């Protein structure tokens, strides 16, 4: 799917908050998600075949270049489940039509 007509995703950006001890911590922003269109490319997965193993599902999400403020502490909701960001988002510069961010995301265990 193309990223302009692709899958709808909700992205919670990261922001700094002060915890009850006065420490500045980076967390997913609770102000609300930003709705974006994205393309999803499966990267790797491993099924949990024996009890006690963990299923791993990693997908690359490609979004437009205007999405800022997304870090490793951000969260993504797409395809009916919540995902964590695995690697720092990579910016790919090009022409106005082709520049984008690619973000590897891992599905959280349900």
For residue 22, pLDDT over 80 is answered with yes
pTM greater than 0.95: no
Question: For the residues 4-29, what does the mean pLDDT come to?
Answer: 84
CATH topology of domain 7-107: Thrombin, subunit H (2.40.10)
How is the chain split into domains, by residue range? 7-107
pLDDT digits (tens, 9 = 90+) for 52-76: 656 778 888 998 888 877 888 888 9
Segment 88-96 shows an average pLDDT of: 85
pLDDT above 50 for 77: yes
Do 80 and 54 form a contact (C-beta atoms < 8 A)? no
* Segment 43-52 long-range contacts (CB within 8 Å, at least 24 positions apart): 43/104
Share of the chain above pLDDT 70, in %: 85
Alpha-carbon gap, residue 94 to 26, rounded angstroms: 30
How much of the chain, in percent, has pLDDT values that exceed 90?
Answer: 5
Instruction: Reply yes or no on whether the pLDDT at 3 is more than 80.
Output: no
């Amino acid at each position: 799917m193309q990223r302009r007509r692709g899958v709808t995703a909700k992205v919670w950006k990261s922001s700094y908050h002060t915890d009850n001890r006065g420490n500045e911590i980076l967390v997913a922003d609770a102000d609300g998600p930003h709705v974006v269109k994205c393309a999803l490319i499966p990267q790797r997965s491993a099924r949990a075949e024996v009890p006690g193993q963990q299923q791993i599902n990693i997908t690359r999400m490609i979004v437009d270049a205007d999405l800022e403020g997304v870090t490793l502490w951000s969260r993504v909701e797409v395809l009916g489940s919540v995902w964590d960001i695995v690697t720092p988002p990579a910016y790919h510069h090009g022409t106005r039509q082709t520049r984008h961010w690619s973000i590897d995301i891992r599905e959280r265990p349900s």
